[in-house]
Amino acid sequence: MKKTLFLLLLAFCIEKTDAQQVAYNLPRPLKWGTEKLPIPIDFAPGIPLKGNEELRFAPGWNNSKGGEYWAYVFLWFIHGKPWLHEDTLNNYLTQYYNGLYLSNLKNKTKAPSNFTKANVKSIHRLLNDAETYEGQVTTLDFLNGKPITFNIRIHLRNYPQINRTALLFEVAPQDYKQPVWIMMNNIITGFSVKDDNYY
């Protein structure tokens, strides 16, 4: 009995210490929306990661006539250091955007198949990144049911001291030179964790 109580107490202390170590800051610009979800992700359960997802939505995210339409940043703050490369990320993005569309379809029409295509490639490593990727994701826009192509930039950062990995995604259909990318870049630049021993 004493041994069982000791093991339970030890597990609780490890969990509590672990939770205390994963504090991070993902900046939220004025008027930007926010959302936080657990990983595994309900609409993409095939992505074999554990942690949490946090999002930042541009104020004009749902305005199809504006320059911020579908512009947002999201973070996957995940346990451990999973093996991630171009093929893995393309697979995860395909599952993610397929699931995102279908989860918002709500049986209004027959669900299509094979509608998401992700193509990201490794590029020169940007500041603070272990790896940086850019590319495009072509999928369906659940706001209007029409095809949409996102430009995407992914920042991979490792935090070995706390056994965590951060994947920071910048997503927008607008060209990289458009003003909304400056705001998204500022969010990425401002991201920090409690222990900054990244590589």
What are the angstrom distances between the C-alpha of 94 and each of 33, 55, 137, 191?
24, 18, 8, 25
- Token duo for residue 151: 């430009």
Residue 199 pLDDT > 80, yes or no?
no
28-193 CATH, one of 2.40.30, 3.40.50, 3.30.460, 3.40.1000: 3.40.1000
Query: What's the pLDDT band for 194 if we cut at 50, 70, 90?
Result: confident
Per-residue confidence (pLDDT) for residue 44, from 0 to 100: 97
What is the rounded CA–CA span in Å between residue 139 and residue 144? 12
Which percentage of the chain shows pLDDT scores above 70?
A: 83
Per-residue confidence (pLDDT) for residue 7, from 0 to 100: 37
| 142 neighbors 101 (Cβ within 8 angstroms) | yes
Query: What's the pLDDT band for 113 if we cut at 50, 70, 90?
Result: confident
What is the rounded CA–CA span in Å between residue 150 and residue 170? 10
Query: What's the pLDDT band for 1 if we cut at 50, 70, 90?
Result: very low
- Per-residue H/E/C for 67-136: CCCCCEEEEEEEECCCCCCHHHHHHHHHHHHHHHHHHHHCCCCCCCCCCCEEEEEEECCCCCCCEEEEEE
pLDDT in tens, 19-63: 444 689 999 999 999 999 999 999 999 999 999 999 999 999 999
Query: What's the pLDDT band for 158 if we cut at 50, 70, 90?
Result: very high
Query: What's the pLDDT band for 108 if we cut at 50, 70, 90?
Result: low
| 49 neighbors 78 (Cβ within 8 angstroms) | yes
Greater confidence, 4 or 148? 148
| 97 neighbors 139 (Cβ within 8 angstroms) | yes
